Amino acid sequence: MSASIALLCLQATEDGRAIAEAIREDNEGVIITNKPAMIQIERAERITIKASTVSESLGRDWDPEELQLVLISLGGQIEETDDEFIVYWNN
C-alpha cells in the first residue's frame, strides 16, 4: 500500500507564503501547489514546520500557534510544541 499523504492547506497570504517557503526548505520531496488564494502542501507520511525556519523566512519571531491564523485545512495527526508543528500519519 502506498504511503498516506500528510496535507496542509494554507491561505496564500504574506505569512502563508513564508510558512510554505520554510516547509519547502525543511521537508524534502514536499509538493507545494499554488491554488487560487490557497497553498496546498502535500508530502508522504509527514510535514514538519519548524518555528526557527519560519521566523527566518518571515523576518520576525514566529510562534507555531500562529499557524491557526492562516490554516484552511489539514490531513493527518498533529503534534505541536513551542518549536515545531508536525502533521503526520501514524498508520
Partner 1 sequence: MELNIASVEIEPKRHTFGNVARRLGEDRPASRYEEAMYDAQPTENFHYRPQWEPEFEIYDKKRTKIKMNDWYDLLDPRKFHYMSYVSTRANQNAANEQSFDFIDKRGLVDFIKKENLQKVFDFLTPLRHYEYGANMNNLTIVDRVYGTAMMSASMFHAEDRLGMAQHITKIILLLSNNDVTKLDEGKEAWLDDSKWQGLRKAVEDSLVEKDPIRLFVKQNIVFDGFIIPLMINEFSKYMANHEEMVLPMLSEFITSWYEETAKWLNSVIKVMALESDENKELLSQWVKEDIEIMEKAMESLVSFSNNPKELIDLTKAELIERLNKCGLNL
Binding site for partner 1 (CB under 8 A): 12, 14, 17-18, 21, 34-36, 56, 58-60
| CB closer to partner 1 out of 12 and 47 | 12
CB of 20 to partner 1, least distance (A): 9
Residue pair 55/61 in contact by the 8 Å Cβ criterion: yes
Beta bridge mates, 42: 7, 31
| CB closer to partner 1 out of 29 and 36 | 36
3-state SS string for 13-26:
CHHHHHHHHHHHHH
CB of 67 to partner 1, least distance (A): 17
Question: Is residue 34 packed enough to be buried (19+ CB in 10 Å), middle (13-18) or exposed (0-12)?
Answer: exposed
CB of 12 to partner 1, least distance (A): 7
